[in-house]
Chains A and B, each alone.
Chain A
Amino acid sequence: MSETRRRYQRFPRAYRIEHWLFVASFVTLAITGLAQKFAGAGIAQGLIGVLGGIETVRVIHRIAAVTMMLEAVYHIGAVGYRVFVKHSRFNMLPTLNDARIAIHSFLYNLGLRKDRPQQGRYSFEEKIEYWAVVWGTLIMVLTGFMLWNPIATTSILPGEVVPAAKTAHGNEALLAVLAIIIWHLYHVLVRTRNKSMFTGYLTEEQMLDEHPIELADVKAGTATRSVDPKVAASRRRTFLGVYGVIGAVMLLGIFVFVTFEKTAIETIPPAEQVTIFAPLTPTLLPTLRPTNTPAAEAPEATSPAWDTDIAELLTTGCGACHVQATLGDLSLKTYADALKGGKSGPAIVPGDPDASLLIQIQSKGGHPGQLSADELARFIAWIEAGAPEK
């Protein structure tokens, strides 16, 4: 069979651009979406890491989703224009004939019919693909809205629709991806190497093979209906008016979809409000158990006495000269000794710190065995309190 050089334009540039834009958003959605659905898998986690983390992946997913929604708005407008203004046939619509053709085709494949059925511009395989995409996109947009705006959704519907939407969204995505691979890619890449979505053209052989009825129409000149320019112009005006409104509403809808709800606050509040360091009192000490803790945890509470407080003040500094020895005839070994005093007089005069030699000498300073200011103050306080022995 000779190869004809004639070729037929199947997809003008606008169609092709639309298709590839859709492919780009679909693939992006599939990758970022399935990585989230199967986030437990190592490969998904690797991919999410490479893409910049889960929050970035979600943002990418949403951007691609909005792109797809905008394409849908464009597509509705473009198809509407073709059908209502240019009066093209809406030949993507499935008919009963398509069902008959599908069965015939299947039986032919099984060897139960002698020839393959003849198809028009869009074969039943293509119609299945198209309407599956329409159905899928609708489901994904609807469930996607519920996942994106759960607060808005649950203000009207019961809460359970959100997890139901989640499972529908993920499952539909899986179905869509696998259907594209098994059905669409088979038919355009494996069955024949169909370049029409790249170049826009099919050869006559390909047209004969896949769309013979359309080829006949084209050759007979009945493929496109001509429209009177004035009629077309008036239809265009009407259409732009109507679709202008519908399109604007849909775009507004997408805008609302995206910006409407602030689902959650940015920073999570602390899980607990509590004072971390809240020590018990009295503080327990390593060298003493509670039972031995004297009540004088605050020494100011009990009044000082020679036996319990004062005597020990004297041992370190004064002991060498006035306990182990008795320089100046002064012994500070016992209470009585201190009161007796030495050569110069009594060291301690109860109630009168100024008359107490010990205070006088210590206040002057320069005496070996100097009490600290704190210790001296305690001494004075004790003397003022009457210098009790016990």
Chain B
Amino acid sequence: MRIRHLVLAASATGLVAIGLLFVANAASARSVQFSPQPQNADNEACLACHATPDMRTQLPSGEELFLTVDRGVFEGSVHGKAGLACTQCHTDIQDFPHDPITASTRREFTLQLYTACARCHQDKYDATLDSVHQKALAGGNNEAAVCTDCHGAHDAQPPDQPRSRIPQTCERCHSEIYNLYKDSVHGSALIGEGNPDVPSCVDCHGVHNIEGPLTGPFRLFSPQICAKCHANAELMSQYNINTNVFNSYVSDFHGTTVVLFEKIAPDQETNKPVCIDCHGVHDIRRPDDPASTVGSKEKLLATCRKCHPGADANFPTAWLGHYAPSPQKAPLVYFVDLFYKLFIPGVLGFMVVFVAADAGRRILNRRRGPRHE
């Protein structure tokens, strides 16, 4: 009888232990779900239904929500390669059947889910909170881009491989701007040749904390964005581009004003142009391109007239075109400058010599006594 009791007790304990192990496993599995570290994910439970092609459900708005996740696409994505589990993003899905979808439109559904990215990408997410997209969202514009609109969800790939992917991502919502950009000097080099030296959208606009480009402060700051490359002699020498562009702009009337506004009153608007006002924003061309806004005298006059409606044909040549005066370019300016470089020291030199002699004589006279004065 004691042995039977022992066997009973042992098996009971064993069963309880196994049961506890299951419970513990389930519990710990749940807690692992909340960690950002990829686990040995068993996504089969999810894919059993969600790999079904053409799976969809209808939302109250009448829109259809597509629920198919292509297994191959996900496994080829950065998250799939990292071995993430479905439930690491879809944290609210614990059991089957799932809790009912509360979103009434497809967009609402996306907006409910995208904040999951913050769980691992907190810094990027925090940066987006300051962005113009987030501001638009907060202002009621549901179409504004959130993480998944640019990065995708199940198919996330490194967004800059290849680099031409970046403007093509922005193209999804900003297609008109993309069409301008792709023919521009920067865009055609990036998309056509994969040139690493030209800016993509994010090089000028920022990545996650994208500031709205229509604000006054952004406009005042924008010459420095251009200067990042166009004042870099090493970079520009590869393309035979004059690096004096930034300095010549800043030392002349327009640029001096803009720089002073930026330093003293960056929130104020000024009617002086920055680089983009003359060169274009997304449709910048090389100056020797007939479509350039500053290439020919006629084009330049038209550009100047945007702000100087009374200007005549001679007016554009008042601007030295980013070149420092030299005997070949702007000889009048060069020689007037040269004249003063000699005239000023000459005149002042004469004055100093005379004044010194006069002072010296008077001091000497005073020392020698009154009869010498």
Contacts and interface: CB of A to CB of B under 8 A. Distances in A.
B320 A154 contact: no
Nearest to B64: A299
B140 interface: no
A274 B177 contact: yes
Contacts, number: 215
Interface string A335-351: 00000000000000000
B370 A1 contact: yes
Interface string B335-373: 011001001100110011011011111100000001000
A178 B348 contact: yes
Given A288-B68, A289-B73, A151 B347 contact: no
13 contacts: A54-B257, A151-B308, A154-B317, A159-B319, A163-B318, A166-B253, A179-B351, A268-B269, A274-B176, A274-B180, A278-B173, A286-B110, A286-B149
B143 A277 contact: yes
Contacts of B173: 277-280
Interface residues of A, number: 77
Contacts of B110: 286
A94 to B, nearest CB: 16
A132 to B, nearest CB: 8
B148 interface: yes
B11 to A, nearest CB: 37
Given A167-B336, A277-B143, A155 B312 contact: yes
Contacts of B337: 167, 171
B109 to A, nearest CB: 9
B311 A161 contact: no
B171 A280 contact: yes
B174 interface: yes
Interface residues of B, number: 93
Given A54-B257, A179-B347, A269-B306, A106 B264 contact: no
Contacts of B28: none
A380 interface: no
Given A54-B261, A160-B333, A163-B325, A109 B357 contact: yes
A109 B360 contact: yes
Interface string A270-299: 111011111110011111110010100001
Contacts of A302: none
Contacts of B261: 53-54
A228 interface: no
A48 interface: yes
A151 B306 CA distance: 14
A270 B269 CA distance: 12
Nearest to B261: A54
Most buried by B among A172, A182, A284: A182
Contacts of A1: 370
